[in-house]
Amino acid sequence: MTAVLAVASEAFPLIKTGGLADVVGALPAALARQGVAVRTLLPGYPAVMAALHDGEAFFRFDDLFGGPATLIAGEAKGLDVIAIDAPHLYARPGSPYVGPDGRDWPDNGFRFAALGKVAAEIGRGAAGLPAPDVVHLHDWQAGLAPAYLAYGPGPRPKTVATIHNIAFQGWFPSTLLGALGLPDHALTIDGVEYFGGIGFLKAALKFADRITTVSPTYAAEILEPEGGVGLEGLLSARAADVVGILNGIDVEVWNPETDVDLPAPFSAQTPGGRAASRGALLARFGLAPAAGLIFGVISRLSSQKGLDLLADAIPTLLDLGGSLALVGSGEPALEARFRDLAARHAGRIGVFIGYDERLAHLVQAGSDAILVPSRFEPCGLTQLCALRYGALPVVSRVGGLADTVIDANPMALAAGVATGVQFNPVSRSALETALRRTALLYADGRAWAQCQANAMRADVSWDASAKAYAELYASLAR
C-alpha cells in the first residue's frame, strides 16, 4: 500500500474556507479504495484541536518559529490527521488566514512555513513516524515543504504539488529567509526567490517532483501568460511534469436522495422532490412564486468569479422572468451591490451574505440553474454539485468549467448528452446570451428534463480522479 502524507491548510469537515477544504477532506477516502493510505497534516487551529481531543502526542519541537510545538495524531471526523499543536501560531479565533480586521495575519509567513517544515521532517522520517512514500502538498500554504527537503539533510521522499488556484501564491519579503531556516543560496531564481522575495508556491513548483492542477484545461491555461500569473515560465519549463486531474465531490455528502438538509429526497429517476426544495428556497429567500427560472449562485463574491458581470446582467435576467437566490461573501463593493439589488427587486432577488453549508444544499436542490460566470476557474466544485442535484450549470468556458459541463448546443441536444450551458468570451453580453439560451431551453420542457437527467447521471465522484492520483503516486514510488 502506498503511504501518502497530504499537507494542507484546511480540510472539510474540520476547517473550511473554500473548495480546497472539500478536496483535501474527500480525497483520502477515495484513495483508500485505490490502495493508498493518506494521513493529512494540518495546522492546529482551535477547531482541529477540538476534533482531535483523543489524539496522541508523538513528537515535540522545542522551537518552531517562536515557540514549542507538539505533533498530535489521531482520527478526527473520519480523517487520519496529524495536527501541529503550536498555540503561538494557530490558537486564534476566526479565519485561518486573516484577523478580525480582515487583513492577513502578520506572521503568516511563519505560520505556513511551519506547515512546510513539519511536512519535511515527517517526510524524511525524522519526526518519529515511518517516512511516507509521497508527500502531497496543496497550494502555497504548504509550498515550502519540498524546499525544506531540498535544502535539508537526509533522505527525500517523492513530492507532488497541487495548484488549486495559481492566483494565490504566498509572497513574503526576502528578509525572512534566515528566520525561516533557509540558506542564503536559496534566494536565487533557481531556488525560492520570486520577484525579489520568497515565493512559497514558486518553491513548490520548482522543487516538487510532479505538479498537478485540478483540471486538464486549467493545466494548459497556466502555461500561458494570462493564466500563469507570473509563473508560466517556470511551468512551461516543467511542462512534462504538469498534469491536470479533475476534482470530484463527496457524493455521499452531496446526495439528493439522502440529503437531510432538504424537505424531500429526489433522484434522476424520481425528480419530484425538487418541487419541495424549490418551494422551500422561494420561502427562505423571500422570492415570489413564479413560473420563470430560479437562478442560484453559491460563490465567493469577487471579480475572478465574474459576479460583477452578473450584477450588470441583472436587467436581462429579470426581463426573462427569472429570479435569483445568492449565497456568498467577498469584495465589499460586490456585497453592497447585491444587497442593493435585493432591496430594489424584492421578491425577485434574495441575497444571503456569508456562507451556510445547509443553505448551499438548498440552493443546489431548489434552483433551476446555477450560475458560474468565472473569468478563470481552476476546476470549480459548485457546478459539480449542481449536476448532482439537477440544477443545470450556466458556466463560462474556462478551466474545469469547460471540462465538466456539456453545452446544450443543437448537436449535443440531438445526441442527448447536454448537461448545461457554456458561454465565451467572459463578458456581460456573452453572459446575457447564455441567460437567454437557458430560458429558451427551460421553455422546452422535454429538452430541459433530458438535460437534468443527463446532469444527475454524470459521474462527479472522486473515483476516476483518485485512480489517476494513485497511478501518479505509484509511478513516483517506483
- Residue 477: strand, helix, or coil: helix
d(CA 130, CA 357): 37
d(CA 10, CA 394): 28
| ∠ CA 415-417-423, rounded to 5° | 110
Joined together, the cell numbers standing for residue 386 give: 449542481
Report CA torsion sign: 139, 142, 147, 153: negative
Please say whether the beta carbons of 243 and 226 come within 8 A: no
Question: What's phi and psi for 60, nearest 5 deg?
Answer: -130, 135
Q: How many helices (H) and strands (E) does the chain have?
A: 19, 18
Tell me which DSSP letter residue 90 carries.
H
d(CA 218, CA 223): 9
The pairs formed by 342-345 with CB atoms below 8 angstroms and a separation of 24 or more are: 345/314, 345/318
158 marked among binding-site residues:
no
Please say whether the beta carbons of 415 and 454 come within 8 A: no
Q: Which residues contact 160 (CB under 8 A, 6 or more apart)?
A: 134, 135, 136, 137, 208, 209, 210, 211, 212, 472, 473, 476
What residue numbers does the annotated binding site cover?
A: 16
What residue numbers does the annotated binding site for ADP-alpha-D-glucose cover?
A: 16
